[in-house]
Structure 1
């Protein structure tokens, strides 16, 4: 694979060593160009090209379905990861005394929608992260009882980079009739994810991290078999069949996940995501995973030699595109600031230095980061 050819598609490399794709990623040139074309068309022609734009919307739906091994009928566009989780949280037909299981290591997007259910008598149970950065399956399993309706967990945890065992959790959920919800934002686009294999019922992921898209456009997946078990909390004019028959107020919801698209599309965002998805799928997410883990191997080896403690679990099936680390007596915030002053864009999360390279980063950049670290 000629990674240098793809590197040329990321002008950010001319100024920075950007290793914060777990934050907000830079846009590749094809995505930037797609946005410019759309803006120019909208400026000069208004909505004349609307039909063609809608064709790109449906093509993007198909690309997301292909990436997830889903059906396009199971894909909806929402505005962000939180939006999708809110659909799940507010759509389950809860009874007082039911419970939902999350973890104490989740990004808040996968916490507050569930905590808000306490007012409806729903108990929120937290599986505990262990000191080694893992969330053991047994910690989740022991919280399950006959009133557990939902387990909601991240594909990859944002602070440590721990990759949860979705297959094992999904199998347990399917066996026990529990709705399995996944926040996929920290893995989708860098690690292969198969919703059939992992028995996922609902998934939500914004596009501005590993998918290399813009903020404000996200993928929402709802397994067709559970579609009618989820009430639509935000039913709008585009949720119904024949939505363009404007004065026929017949409330019949669409028979697929598009019922959750309550109003007009973020068309520019979807067109941008389309370009990013085509780039990722041209390379192949499996190749991207191998490339990113290989880059991180360089850092892991060098960090250990420099006396840093690796926080991210490194066991088989546990790794992701995120690597978090610390050093005793060294201020992590200060390190991230120093790196930025030297053109390296990383992050500090939960007191850890966090780096998250993508496929276009280079081995030389990893070695430069090691040179800068004390």
Structure 2
């Protein structure tokens, strides 16, 4: 059994399905289930006495995350979802700050900003889903202050060139915000290399940490200039570090690091499950994962050509992602469903997502079904 077969064996979902839908949500592993059971058992046996140890492990999780993206632990905040993080950001910047984002973005990237009074300009993709950096640059005006982009577009699978976009943001003095929910765990991410000011991801997809936990990186440079307006008991400092010794809770100052985005008691179990999932990824190695998934993408393209099925996500290697789209008929999708292959289908497009637990046999089974039409 090779490395990838051993990893696949950790995911029981493959006992029931050919799972090609990580873009919609990744399955959790047997080790993660075991860790969840351990944590709940510990909580049942110790109650609040778990807190010192769990708090230290949460700090370790920040450190691990920071190392993975080349940030500082003090620049990492835990979030419950990408939408949660964006909600904290809406009030952080003046309303006259105009924003550029992509037409193909998930609504989280623009709905709240528009509702809160920001002017948002959308950059269109071409008919294939490709987004030109030149088209992004053409939208920049003196009023533009923020650029928001997903690393990978959720519907088309187009992967942005974050290095070029980061250079563009640096050139024009723009705040660079990246949603990495569709790429964290399967693609290289470096906030320094890509000049990213804010990076957000929900960890239920390629990280396979389950629902309700993610993280946000905010550069210290940005933290020194701006702060969110949402304040509560947890994201402020009082006159003493001992919370229960504070005499006047009305006297406080907002925290100076990324903890200012954590308003209440952290979801410790979720954070420690995220820690488990990140350690799992770290042991495999993100570079190895990215290279392996690229071999699966290439194999998928070969199979599509052989079966004369149009690959709609036929981008150049620099823009390919783990999300791939095929042009198929409703009758072909019926075959997909009947063979327990889990993938998304809409408007004659079959969207599949490949991860480190998939293999070429999954792709073979898919195309065997498509050939039955």
Query: TM-score category by the smaller chain?
Result: over 0.9
SS at match of 2:212: coil
Distance 2:83 2:5 in 1: 35
SS in 2 for 1:162: coil
Distance in 2 (CA, whole Å) between partners of 1:113 and 1:369 is 38
Which residue of 2 is the match for residue 367 of structure 1?
364
For 1:93, the equivalent position in structure 2 comes to 94
What is the match of residue 167 of structure 1?
163
Measured in 2, the distance between the counterparts of 1:155 and 1:261 equals 24
**C-alpha distance 205-191 of structure 1, shift in aligned 2 (>3 A):** same
Distance 1:247 1:263, change over 3 A: farther
1:1-374 correspondence to structure 2 within 5 Å:
2-95=3-96, 98-117=97-116, 120=117, 122-241=118-237, 242=241, 244-245=243-244, 246-249=246-249, 250-327=251-328, 330-331=329-330, 335-348=332-345, 351-374=348-371
Aligned pair in 2 of structure 1 residues 125, 212: CA closer, same or farther (>3 Å)? Answer: same
Distance in 1, matches of 2:81 and 2:248, equals 31
- The 8 Å contact of residues 106 and 153 in structure 1, kept in 2 or not, is answered as yes
> Contact 2:110/2:120 (CA < 8 Å) preserved in 1?
no
1:313-334 CA-partner distances (Å, limit 9, x unpaired)? 431310111111213xx13xx6
CA separation of 1:228/1:338 partners in 2, compared to 1, >3 Å: closer, same or farther?
farther
CA separation in 2, counterparts of 1:229 and 1:300?
46
Where structure 2 has 5 or more consecutive residues not aligned to the other structure, the ranges are: none
Q: Tell me if structure 2 keeps the 8 A contact 1:298–1:367.
A: no
**RMSD (Å) for aligned C-alpha atoms:** 1.6
Whole-Å separation in 1 of the counterparts to 2:66 and 2:76: 7
- Report the alpha carbon displacement of residue 337 of structure 1 after superposing the two structures with TM: 4.9
Deviates more, 1:141-150 or 1:174-183: 174-183
Tell me the TM-score normalised to structure 1 length.
Answer: 0.93
CA shift, 1:349, in A, is 5.1
Cα offset, 1:102, TM superposition: 0.9
TM-score between the two structures when normalised by the length of structure 2: 0.94
* Partner Cα separation in structure 2 for residue 22 and residue 230 of structure 1: 33
After superposition, the C-alpha distances for 1:58-84 in whole angstroms (9 at most, x for unaligned) are 111111111111111110001101111
Partner-residue secondary structure (3-state), 1:48: helix
C-alpha distance in 2, partners of 1:264/1:214?
19
Report the secondary structure of 1:49's partner residue.
helix
Runs (5+) with no aligned partner, structure 1: none
- How far is 1:219 from its partner? 0.6
CA distance in 2 between counterparts of 1:337 and 1:73 reads 50
Matched positions, count: 365
Kept in 1: contact 2:332–2:369 (CA 8 A): no
- What per-residue deviation string (whole Å, max 9, x for no partner) do you get for residues 145-167 of structure 1? 00001110100001111101111
